[in-house]
Amino acid sequence: MRAQELEGLLEGFRGKLKANEPLAPIVWLRAGGPADLLAMPADVDDLAFLLNALPEEVPVTVIGLGSNLLIRDGGIEGVVVRLSGKALGKIEVDGDLIRVGTALPDKLFAKAALEAGLGGFAFYHGIPGGLGGALRMNAGANGGETCDRLIEAVALDRHGNRHVLTKAEMGYSYRHSDAPKDLIFVEALFRGEKRPEDEIRAEMDAVQKHREEAQPIKTRTGGSTFKNPPGQRAWELIDAAGCRGLKIGGARVSEMHCNFLINEDEASAYDLECLGETVRARVLAHSGVRLDWEVRRLGRFGETGEVEPFLGA
């Protein structure tokens, strides 16, 4: 279904609709093709309207801040929903409880918890994404994970119906959730612990210091590319396999932290994904370990062709 036809079905939608909208400018790797139709809902009710109005056969893809996304060069079919704005990122504090909209950036969530005197969230200061993605992938850093403080998550299904999932129902494990793939998270409830603000601020400063010293945060990157295998560190395996600084096209493995891929010289999404698969193959050959992608790869391959997974998965 063409974007013009989709727009016709969405009369009454209060947010923004943009046909054939480039996505590279809004993802951190700055690569990839357009969305057939990009939708930015005004609020949760507007998102529910959108989901209910779209025919079942129209693909719906959700993105947030784009910090851990690799959009392929052919772009994304159907409707891409981007959650942003104050209405979808609101914060409510009640004692040691904090309810947060999923469009809120993780760093602002950490700041809000600090201002409320709630400990347990400083690790979010080191995660360059939004809360929606954090819920979906159990994001974590510096010894903390999303599942540590979560009480419940609120989501809409493909028809716009509201669901409340407990932490147990999220089915969390390392960088993974078993929550149904069609659910779009819109808010979450966490429980913190009352702590002096200076202690929380010191934790956040330590997180920031670690990022600045150990990660290429001032480059075009998507964060940690591969998950850490059980009991091992992905960057050490990549380094041991001789991949530090490896380059394909405009994409390079960071020399500062080799679990980060960098768009160094106007890399295509093909360059970046091909580099990632080359790293996986070399690590397997050197250590026998199969690295799993942490960066989400979405969309259609472009004219350059399809990147075949070197490891068959």
* Residue whose C-alpha is closest to residue 156's, from 124, 120, 183: 183
Q: Which positions are annotated as active-site residues?
A: 175, 224, 294
Q: Which helix (H) or strand (E) holds 150?
A: strand 150-156
Question: Residue 15, class by beta-carbon neighbours within 10 Å (0-12 exposed, 13-18 middle, 19+ buried)?
Answer: buried
Which pairs count as long-range contacts for 210-219, CB under 8 Å and 24+ apart, including other chains?
210/126, 210/142, 211/126, 214/256, 214/257, 215/256, 215/257, 215/260, 216/254, 216/256, 216/257, 216/260, 216/262, 217/128, 219/254, 219/260, 219/262, 219/263, 219/264
Number of H-type helices and E-type strands within the chain: 8, 19
